[in-house]
Structure 1
Amino acid sequence: MGEVLVDRPAVGLGVRSPWLDRVDRLLGYVIEIPAVILVIVEVVVLFAGVTARYVLERPFVWSDELASLCFLWLGLLGTCIALRNGAHMRMTAIVGMLSPRKQAFAEVIAVVTAAAFVALILEPSYSFALHEVIVTSPGLGISAAWRAAALPVASTLMILISLVRMLKVGSPLMVLGAVVSLFVIGGILVLLQPVFATLGNVNLVIFFVIFLTGAIFAGVPIAFAFGLATFAYLSLTTHIPLSIIVGRMDGGMSSLILLAVPLFVLLGYLIEMTGMARAMVGFLANLVGHIRGGLNYVLLGAIFLVSGISGAKAADMAAVAPVLFPEMKRRGSKPGELVAILSASGAMSETIPPSLVLITIGSVTGVSISALFTGGLVPAVVLAIALGIVAWWRTRGEDMSRIKRATARQIGRSFVIALPALVLPFVIRAAVVEGVATATEVSTIGIVYAVVAGLLVYREFDWRRLYPILVGTASLSGAILFIIGAATAMGWALTQSGFSAELATFMSTLPGGSVSFMAVSIVVFIILGSVLEGIPAIVLFGPLLFPISEMVGINGVHYAIVVILSMGIGLFAPPFGVGYYTACVIGQVNPDEGMRPIVGYLVALFLGVVLIAAVPWFSIGFL
């Protein structure tokens, strides 16, 4: 899920020029049109591969290779789109407290910092692509440079985008001040290089705690903060060739399983656009809307169902809240209570397949994604029950005298309308379980199903929204992919420093064994979830901690579920959890109003996670 961002501040400080607007639009077309085409190509290639293998029994030997090539280009073009639109994941809690003028300067600093990182990796990425020329792909028989060229091309585009964006956001004086500030900081670090050489692992604290934390809280996009901290650490404290950063980023972004990310994001958009989500919510409202707190249960149930389809929390909440909130307000629910339960339901549903976090954690830790899909359902039910108990307690005095109970005919009619939508989660899971498609490919079955249902059943397929949806898919996917690439390089640097071995030794020798390890992990990942958001935290710390969990005897699926749910609590817990502010934006509620109501739901979530951690059966009982 993306975060609430400070996009181009509307304070009138940027350069106002028709030619700058024309350049901006031209850059938009240059990156958006190819990205849209690549999204469509990915769906067609993977769905054709499933059809050829399962229906025609004549598999395409080149389909995965072509999909992987297109995916890297799609992800990096999506990274460019996200940079242009200010849609990269960021921590803006501190920046948001500043005055509009200071916010604009902070935004310029963030853009200049991002531009500095891609400028630093431009030459190494070009060299990496040149070295790949001699490598030939086995399926397509083409040079691997076609794939490797994506990073230097995207880096060049991001530099141009950054130049335009910094001029549109801040005044020329602000841009000059930001550039000078960055050069001064860089110069000081270079002058201190002899000192760093004597500090040993203290450098980890300097670069990966102080430097990185400062960049993140200054509003620098997380992916670029990770990359710049890694580049500074390796260049100033080691003799390792800097091209290794590009190689590690390329490796992190090239995992074929990550193809599921853009495809499930697209599926989530389609579910909302075609009216399938609204049909599900309508049926649930008719079924239990007449009982006290009924719509609260409907919201929990709707998020549960939609999460099983879209895999993206922002898409889940955007599909459900606009449908339910007006009626809930009419029944007397306070806005703060609404946003509180919406946020809590987002945390509750983090492990419902096909969650993007499940896919990511499987790709970076080696835990079976199919097992994660199976193991994530029951824990989500446990948390849903915990939230339902809190909702029941808070609505026990609700006045239901004016609420009419839906007739059996109305319930039946809404069920028939919702049936195609209700079936989709089961179609997706059955396709994976029966071996029809892999976890990567199964999303294409859902996409085709959603398109057919939207055109023929619900007749709400809005062709005018298709282009923005495809652009949004590329943008969110690119933001996620670039974080994974940068965090992979950062994780490698931490491993090479010996930090991994020291962390493993510390965690494995905690008194209490697996119990202490699990307890510490819950607390750590709640904190990480509030600061880094789920995917970057998983990519960075998953490879370090999962081997330790196996050493102390914790099942990998069980540990993954507990970790994801813990991060979900942090992500949706104010005052730092950015998921909470996303829910406020979607529900159009002032964040202050939900601060107190959400406490009870967070306590319920925490107790639920402790129960799930203590009883492994919830996670692995059906494996």
Structure 2
Amino acid sequence: MNTMHTATFPQPSPRRIVNTIDTVLGYMVEIPAALLVVAEIFVLLAGVTSRYVLRMPLVWSDELASMLFLWLAMLGAVVALRRGEHMRMTALVGKASPSVRAFLELVAIGAPLAFLLLVIGPAVEFAQDEGIITTPALEISNTWRAAALPIGCVLMLVVACLRLIRVANWHMTLAALAAVAAIAGAFVAMSPVLHDLGNVNLLIFFVGLVALCVLSGVPIAFSFGLATFGYLALTTSTPLSVVVGRMDEGMSHLILLSVPLFVFLGQLIEMTGMANAMIAFLASLLGHVRGGLSYVLVGAMYLVSGISGSKAADMAAIAPVLFPEMKARGAKPGDLVALLAATGAQTETIPPSLVLITLGSVTGVSISALFTGGMLPGIVLAITLCSVVWWRYRGDDLSNVRRAARGEVLRKLAIAFPALALPFVIRLAVVEGVATATEVSTIGIAYAVLAGLLIYRRFEWSRLKPMLIDTAALSGAILLIIGAATGMAWALTQSGFSGQLAQAMAKLPGGAAMFMAASMLVFIVLGSVLEGIPAIVLFGPLMFPIARQMGIHDVHYAMVVILSMGVGLFAPPFGVGYYSACAVSRIHPDEGMKPIIGYIIALVIGLIVVAAVPWISIGFLH
């Protein structure tokens, strides 16, 4: 008797299904995001070429670039959420017990979920309203551009849900979601009371709720978004689609298009070997001096900052090249990461810094004037840092360190020359009017590609795709913060808070000098808590009009504000930039805590000098 056996196939587990969906979603989002970065480079480069070389401007290039840009920002934000790369403060979360930390990590997914559920409806409404607008050059409905907002939010919602489903501990997941729901429910229940509190609501939402979210490790963009939408939904009658419009406005400044392009340029510099060539030349020049490679680190950060515009990209280009040699010469890891973080703060004003570009776009200060004014303050802070380096390494024994021969130095200079020339090529293109501050990054990219292919003969095609995806993710994380912070700044302005702040600051005794000192203190604190770009977007539009009333030059005030914020950003225990430096150099944060104190003091002294002597910032403007 024959027994028939039916073949049984293993049923896919729910976890495997979720992982498959996540992988497919990753491809669906990452590849278009990477292609959008490429498209932006070609559209802007075509605009520069046709205008400057062919004398036939493309009337549609800026419009198409702007349309693609919002899609790049939103898809990049989705990629960043999927990778867990949205900017957030984890200083306090990291100190919690493992169980509390695991709970807060889930809250950090649950809170964005609440924000996305709140914003999708108004975003759809906003995209529909934009349908009545037709773009002037391409003559298509503006809904094609605005649709990026609701679609991006829906994709982020899916990503957040998938991340929660993949967590093994269901009890803790439900507890975290219940905690978020309970806080949201409490605010809704209190709505009648909140209506009567007036400006006390500003403290409740923009201080209390933001602080609660940020300190719990919720990504900064979503912390700002929750506070803004909560404030407007529960205490005003403002349609929420208006806030989505303000977010769109904040993310759509064409000048911000240089953010992804400079991030990508920074990665190209490292990949083509240009960063290596620059550092090798500087090391041959100063390697025999006491603390010589520390001076090289300060100089290299100054040079590379003029190229990439992104501090993370700058540090990632330099640390892996310099640190092994510095450790071999006896430098302590803690001192290395402390100096790397300090140079991050020192180079915040060096063009084409993303912070300069952001500040110019939100305050209306000329970006070319900021680019001109930013060079010398960086040198002043470099001198104060170098004085600490000199003091610390004055007793070093260099008896076994060989001094590079003149021929070797000249040979390395010849190799490094194309790389060293890049910041000057970029600067010249802006000054001579060849390209705008937005377009100039594409000239840098074309230059770096040609130098990599023809001069350094090093171009790893296999790295291009991950580089483009990384660029989209970092850009999306930055631009979502700018969008959320723009909405928050608008809500603060509508409440009349900016006028009250202006009056309070204007009444400080001591006039302009006291206002400048107060601004330095405020931005050091804001820089450490909020990170640089959101602090600028949120408070730049409020503080600059007051500075003008006080007779302080816009560019001088901008330099003081940016450097103050940089000091806060790179100073532990809260400064996120410090932890970025530790991550890039793979050195434990505890090791750099003590050595960085001397460098922070040096930075503050340099900052005071820049604030006291306006000529340092504005001497070359006239």
TM-score range normalised by the length of the shorter chain: over 0.9
TM-superposed deviation, 1:81: 0.5
d(CA) in 2 for partners of 1:170, 1:71 = 37
Structure 2 residue matching 1:57: 3-state secondary structure: coil
d(CA) in 2 for partners of 1:384, 1:92 = 29
TM-superposed deviation, 1:359: 0.3
Residue pairs, 1:198-277, within 5 angstroms: 198-277=196-275
Structure 1 residue corresponding to 2:436, chosen from 435, 438, 443: 438
d(CA) in 2 for partners of 1:468, 1:104 = 29
Residue pairs, 1:100-119, within 5 angstroms: 100-119=98-117
Structure 2 residue matching 1:17: 3-state secondary structure: helix
2:341 counterpart residue number: 343
d(CA) in 2 for partners of 1:268, 1:25 = 28
d(CA) in 1 for partners of 2:166, 2:368 = 46
TM-superposed deviation, 1:413: 1.0
d(CA) in 2 for partners of 1:130, 1:584 = 45
2:615 counterpart residue number: 617
Which residue identity is paired with 1:121? Answer: V
Which residue identity is paired with 1:511? Answer: P
Q: CA RMSD in A?
A: 1.0
2:175 counterpart residue number: 177
Matched, 1:449 2:447: yes
Matched, 1:493 2:494: no
TM-superposed deviation, 1:104: 2.1
d(CA) in 1 for partners of 2:195, 2:149 = 31
Structure 1 residue matching 2:91: 3-state secondary structure: coil
Deviations 1:439-467 (A, max 9, x none): 00000000000011111111221111111
1:462 counterpart residue number: 460
Q: Which moved more, 1:313-322 or 1:53-62?
A: 313-322
- Contact 2:126–2:242 under 8 Å retained in 1: no
Which residue identity is paired with 1:49? Answer: G
Unmatched 5+ stretches in structure 2: 1-12
Residue pairs, 1:431-580, within 5 angstroms: 431-580=429-578
Deviations 1:509-568 (A, max 9, x none): 111111011000000100011100100000000010011110101111111111000011
Unmatched 5+ stretches in structure 1: 1-14
Deviations 1:13-61 (A, max 9, x none): xx98211111111111111111111100000000010000000000000
Structure 1 residue matching 2:134: 3-state secondary structure: coil
- Contact 2:36–2:72 under 8 Å retained in 1: yes
2:4 counterpart residue number: none
Structure 2 residue corresponding to 1:82, chosen from 52, 56, 80: 80
Which residue identity is paired with 1:439? Answer: A
d(CA) in 1 for partners of 2:321, 2:280 = 8
TM-superposed deviation, 1:329: 1.3
Residue pairs, 1:6-25, within 5 angstroms: 17-25=15-23
TM-superposed deviation, 1:118: 1.2
TM-superposed deviation, 1:190: 1.3
TM-superposed deviation, 1:170: 5.2
Structure 2 residue corresponding to 1:195, chosen from 169, 174, 193: 193
d(CA) in 2 for partners of 1:246, 1:582 = 31
1:324 counterpart residue number: 322
TM-superposed deviation, 1:182: 1.8
Which residue identity is paired with 1:528? Answer: L
Structure 1 residue matching 2:369: 3-state secondary structure: helix
d(CA) in 2 for partners of 1:16, 1:332 = 53
TM-superposed deviation, 1:197: 1.6
- Contact 2:167–2:173 under 8 Å retained in 1: no
Which residue identity is paired with 2:213? Answer: A
Structure 2 residue corresponding to 1:287, chosen from 285, 288, 292: 285
Which residue identity is paired with 2:593? Answer: M
Structure 1 residue matching 2:518: 3-state secondary structure: helix
Residue pairs, 1:395-410, within 5 angstroms: 395-410=393-408
TM-superposed deviation, 1:169: 3.8
d(CA) in 2 for partners of 1:394, 1:419 = 31
Residue pairs, 1:29-40, within 5 angstroms: 29-40=27-38
Structure 2 residue corresponding to 1:53, chosen from 51, 67, 73: 51
Deviations 1:238-260 (A, max 9, x none): 11111111111111111111111
Which residue identity is paired with 2:129? Answer: H
Following superposition, which runs of at least 4 residues in structure 1 exceed 6 angstroms of deviation?
Answer: none
1:70 counterpart residue number: 68
2:135 counterpart residue number: 137
Structure 2 residue matching 1:225: 3-state secondary structure: helix
Which residue identity is paired with 1:23? Answer: I
1:586 counterpart residue number: 584
d(CA) in 2 for partners of 1:399, 1:319 = 29
TM-superposed deviation, 1:490: 0.5
Which residue identity is paired with 2:509? Answer: P
- Contact 1:303–1:349 under 8 Å retained in 2: yes
2:158 counterpart residue number: 160
d(CA) in 2 for partners of 1:442, 1:385 = 29
1:43 counterpart residue number: 41
* TM-score, structure 1 as length reference: 0.97
Q: Which moved more, 1:91-100 or 1:608-617?
A: 91-100
Q: Which moved more, 1:93-102 or 1:500-509?
A: 93-102
TM-superposed deviation, 1:293: 1.1
TM-superposed deviation, 1:71: 0.4
Q: Which moved more, 1:362-371 or 1:328-337?
A: 328-337
- Contact 1:108–1:170 under 8 Å retained in 2: no
1:298 counterpart residue number: 296
Which residue identity is paired with 1:413? Answer: R
Structure 2 residue matching 1:511: 3-state secondary structure: coil
TM-superposed deviation, 1:101: 3.0
Which residue identity is paired with 1:261? Answer: V
Identity among equivalent pairs (%): 64
